Amino acid sequence: NAGVTQTPKFQVLKTGQSMTLQCAQDMNHNSMYWYRQDPGMGLRLIYYSASEGTTDKGEVPNGYNVSRLNKREFSLRLESAAPSQTSVYFCASRLRGAGNTIYFGEGSWLTVV
């Protein structure tokens, strides 16, 4: 089972460049999430999508946009990358039900120089 798949795994950007992180899940989950992980900060929620067609801001949404393209896919876009956006980005998905468990992708390492 693929689970949650993120691309790219590694990316280096120059300040001001734009890019999109792609995420897809094959578990027929309703909700999808984007988190960022920084040293000493744990995981912080950027945006989430409770269901297809809806998106909501999380704790740290500034500088990001998202698109819930369909039930499977949830992309994160950086319109004008800044060094402060250097981080590891995790996509996740959840099926409402027992445990409300969230499953994570393997992460995307982004460096902005």
- The site for another protein (CB under 8 A) is made up of 31, 33, 40-45, 48, 50, 56, 58, 90, 94, 96, 99-107
User: Using CB atoms within 10 A of its CB, is residue 70 exposed (0-12), middle (13-18) or buried (19+)?
Assistant: exposed
Amino acid at position 13, single letter: L
Is 23:76 a contact under the CB 8 Å cutoff?
Answer: yes
Q: Which is nearer to another protein, 18 or 101 (CB)?
A: 101
Give me the least distance between CB of 93 and another protein, in Å please.
12
Distance in Å, CB of 77 to another protein, minimum: 20
* H helix or E strand, kind and range, residue 46: strand 42-49
| Residue with Cβ nearer another protein (17 or 43) | 43
Name the minimum Å distance from CB 86 to another protein.
Answer: 16
Least CB distance to another protein at residue 16 (A): 28
- Closest to another protein by CB, 57 vs 79, is 57
Q: Closest CB to another protein among 12 and 15?
A: 12
Using CB atoms within 10 Å of the CB of residue 62, give its burial: 0 to 12 exposed, 13 to 18 middle, 19+ buried.
exposed
Q: How far is CA 104 from CA 13, 24, 84, 93, in A?
A: 24, 11, 23, 7
